[in-house]
Amino acid sequence: MTQNELIQTVKSLISAHSCCQELKLAGQKWLDSIGTPAEKAAAEALLQEVKDDICTIDQEIGFFDSPLAVQYFGEEKAKELSLQAHKDKEAGAVWCNCDACAMCKLIIDNAAQLV
């Protein structure tokens, strides 16, 4: 992954609806630090936040099967998302497939370019 591709990945991450505020802040801090002496520390902080925030498929299923998902998405959409997550797991998925987690996985897979 090139530096420009990594920058685009982080921009996609922080614009993802499913990205938490702490991860958005870490991503933006890294983007703001590129080319400065603070870049290495910001990259390490972003990588740690990514590792802390990425969800496994089991965590995704647990959320979509919870009352909180029903409250957030409504009963019908929560069931639909749960069913898809279960299908993903049966197909061998290890990680949540939401936009934020997909970008987290890309960043983890390309950590050498980040730090």
Tens of pLDDT, residue by residue over 91-103, are 999 999 899 999 9
Between CA 20 and CA 100 the distance in angstroms is 9
Instruction: Please tell me the predicted confidence (pLDDT) of residue 57.
Output: 97
Asked if 33 and 13 sit in the same domain, the reply is: yes
Between CA 106 and CA 86 the distance in angstroms is 22
Q: Containing domain of residue 37, as a range? A: 1-53+99-115
Going by C-alpha positions, the residue among 10, 79, 97 that lies closest to residue 46 is 10
The answer, yes or no, to whether residue 115 has pLDDT greater than 80, is no
Reported pTM: 0.87
- Residue 114: pLDDT band by 50, 70, 90 thresholds? confident
What angle (nearest 5°) sits at the alpha carbon of residue 96, between those of residues 92 and 98?
130
Taking residue 79's Cβ as centre, other Cβ atoms within 10 Å add up to: 15
Asked if 67 and 103 sit in the same domain, the reply is: no
Asked if 79 and 108 sit in the same domain, the reply is: no
Asked if 46 and 9 sit in the same domain, the reply is: yes
Asked if 93 and 108 sit in the same domain, the reply is: no
Instruction: Summarize pLDDT for 8-62 with one digit per residue, the tens.
Output: 999 999 999 999 999 999 999 999 999 999 999 999 999 999 999 999 999 999 9
Tally of structural domains, the chain: 2
